Amino acid sequence: MCDVPFVEKKYLDKLPDFHRDSLGKNLCVCNEIPKFIIVDAIIAGATTLEDVRKQTYATDGNGCCRLQVERLIDYLCEPKPVKPNGLEEEKI
């Protein structure tokens, strides 16, 4: 089994058990990208599927891991505040 680099506990605590238990396994089987590489990219600032793809090549094959990568983004990224009216403020 490969050694999984250290991932801070505050990030691991955001993940469900099944994601924590398999950090060293490939999440993207097409490009052989382990889950911890994807987690590291998200922690480093990748907040969209496209960001993760650019940094790791995950989801760049047939896309079968796309949903799992989106879930990791949901678990690890802070929710963005939504304005009550849903409108952007105009800059004057």
Domain chopping of the chain, boundaries: 18-76
Judge: domain 18-76, CATH 1.10.10.1100: yes
Q: Per-residue pLDDT averaged across 10-23, rounded?
A: 86
Nearest to 69 by CA among 58, 60, 54: 58
What pLDDT, on a 0 to 100 scale, did the predictor assign at position 50? 96
Distance, in Å, from the CA atom of 54 to the CA atom of 14, rounded to the nearest integer, reads 24
**CA-to-CA distance for 87 and 20, rounded, in angstroms?**
37
pLDDT above 60 for 75: yes
Q: Report the alpha-carbon distance of residue 52 to residue 64 in Å, rounded.
A: 14
Q: How far apart are CA 26 and CA 49, in angstroms?
A: 17
Output the pTM of the full model: 0.78
- Residue 84, classified by CB atoms within 10 Å of its CB into exposed (0-12), middle (13-18) or buried (19+), is exposed
